[in-house]
Each structure stands twice: as structure tokens, then as C-alpha cells.
Chains A and B, each alone.
Chain A
């Protein structure tokens, strides 16, 4: 994996793009959000204070999923009327990447599903609970539609994501325990589908997690 180190255009500190496909990173010294172009990095914004969340996962948390080791490289934080959740950008040691969501300590690991591109997915404002899609060998049914807003960003991400505001997410489930999300962050025109599995915390064999006062792991 080619590791690219650049200097933060804001403060000059070294910033690593350690995963080849990382498009965006944050400077850990001055909190600038940096986007990689072909030759350079550009400061596009600044991260605010991260919300005071209680996820046991943090940047650098390691785990194992389907016999592949992964490490947490970045994060997007969302908030909606009934709480919030994290989308952790995880990078596997075979070079692929995916997402580990953590909503009220329910964990789902998913990755982008390109097979849905041919299907007509209704726009975010009209997608409804109960709508079904046939992806792969399973039937995914919309179980909830959430209007969320972007709350913060951290670390390396595979795309530019720093000034989003409100976005719609449709969550889907199957009878076999598979999990799907239709992500309307880019608007109705380009919904992105992610599919994956709900996972037990203990099965992820996470290391380098946070510690909580009064609790042992």
C-alpha cells in the first residue's frame, strides 16, 4: 500500500493518507479537513468539537470480520431526532474498505453494493417503509426511513464529506439477518446502497477500544 504523507496546508504538520483510496483526511494538529487532489491537498473546512459520544470504538480500533483483520480509519457522525449513530470507515488488510455502524451499541458491518445500480430506487422523499428490493439472493425490505443530519467527521474517508447537512437514510432488513441502507447523502439522484450483516460485539474481537469508568472489558 502506497503511503502518502503531505504537509497540512494550514499548519504544516505531516498528514498521512495511509490508505491508497483515502480521499479525505483530518489534520490531527489543527483539525483542518483536507481533501486530496492529484498533486496536493486542499483545506476545505475545519472539524468542530466532536460530540461527546459513548461508543467503545475509536480511531485505530482493530477487529476481525469474516476472517479479515480491519482497522478503523475514519468516521462520520450522524444525529437524528431520537439520538445519533456513528459510521466508522474500516479498512481491511486486503485493501478493501467498508463501514461499521454503531447505533445505540448495535453493530452492523456493510460495504457498498453496486448490484443495485440497474434498479429504480425511489427518491428519498418518497421511499416508504415496506418497500422491497431484490439484491443478490435476498429480499430487502425497508424497515425505517430516517431524516438525519451530519454532526461531525474524523480521520480518513474514501470520499469527500465535510459540508453535508440533512440527509435521508432508508434502513432495510431481510428474513436472514442481512442489513441494508440506502444513503441519500448525495441527494435523490445518486442514492448509494450498502449491504451487510448485524454483528455481535463479542464476535468482532475488537482491540484498542475505549475504556469506561466503572467497567472492565
Chain B
């Protein structure tokens, strides 16, 4: 950093205009005689009479009428003229209000523009459309031009301060109501072409009149912030719908959730591997059996076996010698001490053969059922096989204690994926609503052409 040289040049400091700049007093509208105020000293070029709506020449001591009252209706701005508030570190006073209107498909849409003033820092704007506010300043730099192609459509882009703004809407806006004073010429019916580019929460607007273009940058601002700053009573009107540069409330949340979900999935996998390692995989029972359907009662019970350790899973595996056949097993794991029974059934079937496409097979000879959360104790199995009459099978029943269970892993994975999926869908729905209001709505039906 260079050192600031604070000694000013040696030039006499004589104030050519000493004293405090006074407020104008005793002003009256030449049209209707109503008393008037000037809030911006001689910065005002035009001022409208609050009573009759005539537009007056504020630079003329006699307040020459520039435009007779054309007012068809009267609007009460949400921020009354004269309201002061501290906004972005500067005390501003609301000194002017314009309503602007665009007509689209025969429907009029109105928005309000508030002119804020500080005699040192200058002017700033607030705009309001159906409860959506923007804090607007005039750009000092020119944007860079760009273009983006989306399928067969192309949108203009503007790059400003390193942000890329996408073309949103072009409309012809006209001034339909004027209140207060302005440092430029204003008239009812003034027309500008307004082109908006968005990069939420920012909006870059280009206002063109003739060959001159003015660029302004708006930042989406919650109404409650403005209510607080300007000390308005009650609460700000609720924002209706989705505004062009309104930040997507789901914005980065789906991404965060996906990321978070990723961490959880990794954690799950680690947990699963660990539980696999610490699981005992203990074979507690194995026995070979033979069955033939003879029409007689076929149920039997196995010898008692011990399920040790803590409450955990049990795998029952039926390994059969089925060949182009099926068998059904009614099974119950019964606690010898308490009599508590876990009933379940398994079907095992295995078919194979050759056809014109070559060899094929269906099903398998082996089946494993997992029973979750079985407390330790002495157990036995009750087994009742079923087959077609005359058919028979040799099979082995084996029981393994304390195996890790896959099903909770899948459930946990699903639980982790659903919230980000839901948020992503909500975020997309928000973007869809945003762009429905633009000249470039998101096309949902293929082949549809809504231009």
C-alpha cells in the first residue's frame, strides 16, 4: 500500500456557498393549489403534485405544468414518500414512486419502483412485484455479451462482475403512475424496452430508449428486510409465486443432501464391512434328510441346538437335490424354553433343459432365509416338506448364527437417497415455475412448441 498523503494542496479553502442548503418551502401546485414538498433540493427535475397528479417542472421557480393530470387511479405505495431507513449503511429517504406496466397476452402486469435519495450518496431504487422486492443500483460497467444454446433454442447471456446472466424476458414497459420527484424527466405513458437477465439472486436489466441503454443490477431482497430497515408497521405483504431472480430455496440443499448422503453411504459400507468381520458366522446345526410324498403327515422336529451370544441374526439354508422339480418347506424355529415360534415358509424349485435357444435353467437348488433378532437360547426346528404326489428329495438343513443382514443396509440406503431425491424434485419444480414466467419456459412435452 502506498502511504496516503493527507496534506491537501495549498489552495484557499473558502466556501463559496456557506451555510446549510435549506429545504424549499411554501411551494404550491400551480394546477390545483395544493401544498407541495421538495425532498431532493435542486436535484429534482420533475415533481408530481400529490393531490392532482400533474407533472411539474421542479427547476422552474413557478413550477410550470409539464403534463396535466392524467391519473385514472390512485396508488398508495407500500413505502410512503418521506419514509426514511438505513439501507446498505446509508440513510435513504423515499422520494419518488413510479408504477410501470407491461401487457402480455392481453393481461396487464404492474410493478412499483421506489426512488431512494441521500444528498451525499445519491440515488438507489427498490422495486416490488407481488411481494417480491429487488434492491437496484445503476451499473457503472458494461456487461460482456454472450450466447448460450439449449437444444434448438438460443438465449442471450450477459456477463457482469464474473456472473453469467441468462436472458429471461423482454417487454415494453410504460409508466402508469407517478408520485414524488425525480432527477430526470418523467411523464405518464413513458415507454421503455426492458430486457431482464437473471442469475439468482441477481437480475441485470437493460432499459433501452432510442439508442441509449441503461444497465441496472437488482438483488432479490426479502420484503421483511425492507420492512425492518424502513420501520414499516406490520409485516411485508406475502410474496406470490416465484420471481425471476428469486433464489431457489432448495438451491444447494439437494446437492448438500446428496453429499451428506454420500458420507452416510460410505459410513454404512464401513459399518457393514466391520459387522461382517466381527460376525461369528457360527455353524450351529447341520443335518441331511430325505423326503418322499406319500400322502402321510410328514412333519418332524430336529434335535435341539444352542444359539449363543447376543440377540442377532440366524441363517437357515436348505440345500436340495431337486432336478426339474419343486418342494415347499413349512418351517418354524421354536425356542425350547419359552415356546416362542418363528414361523416361515420357503419354496425351492429348480428347472433346466434345452430348447431352440440352447440350454436354460430357472430357480436353484439352494435357498437361504435370514431371521433377524433372534435372542440366544436352546432352539429346534419343526419342518414339514410338501411336494407333488410320488416325488421325493434329499436335502440338507443348516443353521448359521450371527450373520450380518443385508436388508437393513438396503433400507438405510433407501432412507438416505429419498430426501435428496425429494429436494431435487422440489428444486426443479421451483425452476420450472420461475421459467414459466419468462420468454423461455422449460419445455416439458417433447415436440411441444410454445414460442
Contact = CB atoms under 8 A, between A and B. Distances in A.
A64 B4 contact: yes
Contact of A52 (B10, B15, B42, B120): B42
Interface in A150-203: 154-156, 173-179, 198, 200-202
B136 to A, nearest CB: 14
A202 B183 CA distance: 21
Counting contact residues on chain B (CB < 8 A from A), the size range is 35 or more
Contacts of A129: 211-212
B389 interface: no
A201 B12 contact: no
Interface stretch (A36-44, A111-119, A206-214): A206-214
Contacts of B9: 1, 18-19, 69-71, 73, 91-93, 95
Looking at chain B's contact residues, the main secondary structure is loop
Looking at chain A's contact residues, the main secondary structure is loop
A173 B141 contact: yes
Counting contact residues on chain A (CB < 8 A from B), the size range is 35 or more
A59 to B, nearest CB: 4
Nearest to A214: B23
Interface string B115-126: 000111111000
Contacts of A19: 9, 11
A217 B144 CA distance: 36
A62 interface: yes
A147 interface: no
Contacts of B143: 175
A201 B120 contact: yes
Interface of B: 1-17, 19-23, 40-43, 45, 89-91, 118-123, 138, 140-144, 160, 183-185, 211-213
**Those 3 A-B pairs whose CB atoms lie nearest each other, nearest first:** A105-B122, A54-B41, A60-B13
10 contacts: A1-B9, A3-B10, A69-B4, A71-B11, A82-B45, A91-B9, A177-B141, A202-B90, A213-B21, A213-B22
Interface of A: 1, 3, 16, 18-19, 28, 50-54, 56, 58-60, 62, 64, 67-71, 73, 81-83, 91-95, 104-107, 128-130, 141, 143-144, 154-156, 173-179, 198, 200-202, 206, 208-217
